[in-house]
């Protein structure tokens, strides 16, 4: 069924984790969140990270996105090695090369939708590319809501603003942490659709953590994590396929 392996389709690696480990605590309270994980995220690819809670899926994303430190191994965004970077350089890297969409608290309540979208560029002191900005705003369908403040927008609209913000600065890679976790299914589908379109039409790279098989089915590839290790990978996933795979975890979880 898989005719074109992802590795062949994408020529370059947007982000890469190699032998990545993350350990919390010491002695008896020691918890291994990530256990020598190696994974590539290719340019122009939409990847979903799945796994039962406590599997380390969020930790993997946080470490690769430069939000969290790690205990061993290495992480690269494009050509940049994250390990040796200080907070200041990491902050700049996130600002210039990475876009984020969180489950909640994506927007500043004091800023209008447009101001929220251009915030990363404001921080960097760059002028946004007008044409690109217009395209992104059109795509997420917010042209008539730009002057509104977050409190005047619905939850779905707010998340669409967040998507636009992540896309507006043309980052090398966008990370989403349960971006549809707080949305009803229709709004969620819209947001996921925009993310998929950005990959298809704009060549964006997207990595998204989710626990929703339907959300994962929008991706090109799904990585399954359990106990801090990558245990499986699925290309061109369907919601049913992902659900079945997830049920296996549950079954194994109960028997082990």
In 3D, which of 46, 48, 51, 47 has the Cα closest to residue 34?
A: 51
Between residues 102 and 132, which has the closer beta carbon with respect to another protein?
102
Binding test (CB under 8 A) with another protein, winner from 42, 57, 62, 221: 62
Binding test (CB under 8 A) with another protein, winner from 45, 177, 212, 220: 177
Q: Does 87 bind another protein (CB under 8 A)?
A: yes
Minimum distance, C-beta of residue 10 to another protein, in the bound complex (Å): 26
- Binding residues among 217-256 for another protein as defined by CB under 8 A: none
Minimum distance, C-beta of residue 8 to another protein, in the bound complex (Å): 33
Between residues 49 and 234, which has the closer beta carbon with respect to another protein?
49
Could you give the CA distance from residue 53 to residue 212 in angstroms, rounded to a whole number? Answer: 12
Distances in whole angstroms, Cα of residue 16 to Cα of each of 45, 63, 182, 207: 13, 11, 29, 12
The stretch near another protein (CB under 8 A) out of 5-13, 90-98, 196-204, 225-233 is: 90-98
Could you give the CA distance from residue 87 to residue 72 in angstroms, rounded to a whole number? Answer: 18
Q: Does 148 bind another protein (CB under 8 A)?
A: no
In 3D, which of 180, 172, 242 has the Cα closest to residue 208?
A: 180
Q: Does 85 bind another protein (CB under 8 A)?
A: no
Could you give the CA distance from residue 119 to residue 45 in angstroms, rounded to a whole number? Answer: 25
How many residues interact with another protein (rule CB under 8 A)?
28
β 206-209/221-226 pair status: unpaired
Q: Please check whether residue 34 is in contact with residue 228, taking contact to mean a CB–CB distance below 8 angstroms.
A: yes
Minimum distance, C-beta of residue 88 to another protein, in the bound complex (Å): 6
Q: How many CB atoms lie within 10 A of CB 122?
A: 14
Q: Please check whether residue 251 is in contact with residue 17, taking contact to mean a CB–CB distance below 8 angstroms.
A: no
Q: Does 53 bind another protein (CB under 8 A)?
A: no
Q: What's the gap between Cα 189 and its chain centre?
A: 16
Between residues 178 and 220, which has the closer beta carbon with respect to another protein?
178
Q: Does 92 bind another protein (CB under 8 A)?
A: yes
Task: List interacting residues with another protein (CB under 8 A).
Answer: 62, 67-68, 87-88, 91-92, 94-96, 99-100, 102, 104-106, 108-111, 119-120, 122-125, 165, 177
């Amino acid at each position: 069924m898989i005719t074109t392996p992802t590795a062949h389709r994408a020529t370059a690696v947007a982000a890469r984790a190699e032998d990545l480990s993350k350990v919390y605590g010491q002695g008896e309270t020691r918890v291994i969140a990530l256990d020598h994980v190696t994974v590539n995220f290719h340019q122009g690819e939409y990847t979903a990270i799945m796994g039962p809670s406590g599997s380390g899926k969020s930790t993997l994303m946080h470490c690769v996105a430069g939000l969290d430190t790690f205990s061993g191994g290495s992480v690269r965004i494009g050509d940049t090695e994250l390990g040796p970077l200080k907070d200041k350089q990491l902050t700049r890297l996130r600002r210039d090369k990475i876009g984020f969409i969180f489950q909640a608290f994506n927007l500043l309540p004091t800023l209008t939708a447009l101001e929220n979208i251009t915030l990363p560029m404001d921080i960097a002191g760059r002028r946004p590319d007008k044409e690109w900005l217009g395209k992104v705003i059109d795509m997420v369908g917010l042209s008539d809501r730009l002057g509104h403040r977050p409190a005047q927008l619905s939850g779905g609209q707010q998340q669409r603003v967040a998507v636009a913000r992540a896309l507006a600065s043309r980052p090398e890679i966008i990370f989403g942490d349960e971006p549809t976790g707080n949305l009803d299914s229709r709004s969620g589908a819209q947001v996921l659709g925009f993310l998929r379109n950005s990959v298809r039409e704009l060549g964006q790279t997207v990595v998204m953590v989710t626990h929703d098989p339907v959300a994962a089915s929008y991706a090109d590839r799904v990585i399954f994590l359990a106990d801090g290790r990558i245990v499986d990978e699925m290309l061109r996933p369907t919601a049913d396929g992902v659900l079945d795979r997830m049920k296996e975890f549950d079954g194994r979880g109960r028997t082990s």
